[in-house]
Chain A
């Protein structure tokens, strides 16, 4: 399987400013044909030609999974980021042709659950919008707890509350409102699955609280896409293709491999899915492992690297790619 697998040529149908930070982009097929159905929690990788730099960023699909007329994503502007969100905020306009991947789901509902308990922080609401639409259609039991800084940034909060009433609980940091997590976790019936998506700190808080409250690991789900962190420039030798490449400060190793014309597999580009796992043939230096995929033992062995988010510091790195 090459690159990111199957892709879909799409046209931007609508661009909507949801609030000061978030804009929604809707994609349709240029010929008006149906998009593939998807499962709640799925993401798509959006390809961008940012003035000569190829960017590929994953975004959760936020629409109703049964609606095949188009896909919607919500993009939070990150002024300090690498440029993907800024490109989508500044340069994407209705009518523009783009390429996205088929949906991939690394944050699927466990459909055996007797109840789905969802905890969202900020832009982490997006996968839940699709999951809630799916569960509402299937008659599934869910409860959402959604925390944002203030009502103005509480995207889709009012709509969710209006449609689903008591199943939706909103919290605003500025008003000093906090999710009472210990009480929430203590009262759930057997068979509840817990889902969390939001800032790194929130995910850590929810997962560790669940663990100390005795929740089994297999009933706790989270999604966290890492942006590839910047770092020092380094060189890499790609043994299979006989090339030596340089990875820039704000470029990921995967992006540098792709820019050199070498085909490399990927799905999430955020250190979670494992698809881009690459064998290290030689390493004189330190690999900066930033992924959620490799085990601690694998990281320590120095024989594997996830080029989507991980970097290198030292004299030489040789990869089987």
Chain B
């Protein structure tokens, strides 16, 4: 595989960074020079080789460090992983989906042997070997959703589909863009997204819900979302807001390139076969402005997107107070030349 898992931190001394290869494969979320909410769904089919779309569940150089960070967050606050009682079957569905995909797509790192309902799972990067009985919770150290998402990058929510809505009834949420699983669990699709400004009026969630309720087994979908984070902090939870909030007042023109990070969520959607629930993995990728500026097209475009973003959205995404510093910094990379359509830096 030729990939080394980095030993790095997402708190304290913040040693996280992206290797040049990781920068090149970063999922830059803006296909054009401006941004407004849209449903922007596309089929989750294998994408360009080497890109984050190549595999069903991308495993990258940050894998081991991110899983160590998740374990720390859960030790501090177990409420970040919850599953309402009727969602256990969906948890098994998710475990099966991830184990099968990883064993098939990364055979050097993961293997799964199935003998009827007796399963044998090996995760070499995390040095885990587990024999268990499928659909028997007593044979795993924790619930099936928690078990597999302690070994998979990104947050996860499991949505129960009933009464013409999706209900956020289970989740593993430790790398979130400032929303609380503990508070939001049990909400329907509109309630869960209630705090998002502008989008309800534009019927964005009505259309997104309609699309998601019809996501079929075997035909997953994906979309991007994004925000900004100061320092490579994965756990920007509301619970810990008093701890990380003060960093927003410490951004300066001198440190913005190093400390401000574009935070991209690659959201994917899978219909789960046994439970009919919808799995909603939310994978977070971080890139510091300095790293992003090594790709001229991205730097030019990000300048234009941030400069022209409505203040409501900048406020919701938590960077309104720092927007002028960010725009000034990015302006140095924007000579006004046009950018080619699409995400890819090299196109």
Contacts and interface: CB of A to CB of B under 8 A. Distances in A.
Contacts of A138: 89
B214 A6 contact: no
A273 B273 contact: no
A110 B89 contact: no
A175 B162 CA distance: 38
B218 A108 contact: no
Q: Size range of the interface on A?
A: 20 to 34
Interface residues of B, number: 23
A65 B93 CA distance: 13
B219 A38 contact: no
B162 A6 contact: no
A186 to B, nearest CB: 24
Interface string A29-42: 00000001111011
B162 A5 contact: no
Interface string B275-303: 11000000000000000000000000000
Contacts of A297: none
A38 B214 contact: no
Contacts of A39: 273-276
B218 A102 contact: yes
A111 interface: yes
Contact of A273 (B160, B214, B219): B214
A218 B214 contact: no
A267 interface: yes
Contacts of B43: 1
Interface in B167-219: 210, 214, 216-219
A108 B214 contact: no
Which of B84, B135, B210, B274 is most buried by chain A, counting CB atoms within 10 A of its CB?
A: B274
Interface in A101-130: 101-105, 108, 110-112
Given A39-B273, A39-B274, A103-B273, A111 B219 contact: no
Given A102-B216, A138-B89, A38 B162 contact: no
A274 interface: yes
Contacts of B86: 111-112
Interface string B32-43: 000000000001
Given A39-B274, A102-B219, 8 more contacts: A1-B214, A38-B273, A41-B276, A42-B276, A110-B162, A111-B87, A218-B162, A273-B214
9 contacts: A38-B217, A39-B273, A39-B275, A102-B219, A104-B216, A104-B217, A105-B276, A110-B162, A112-B86
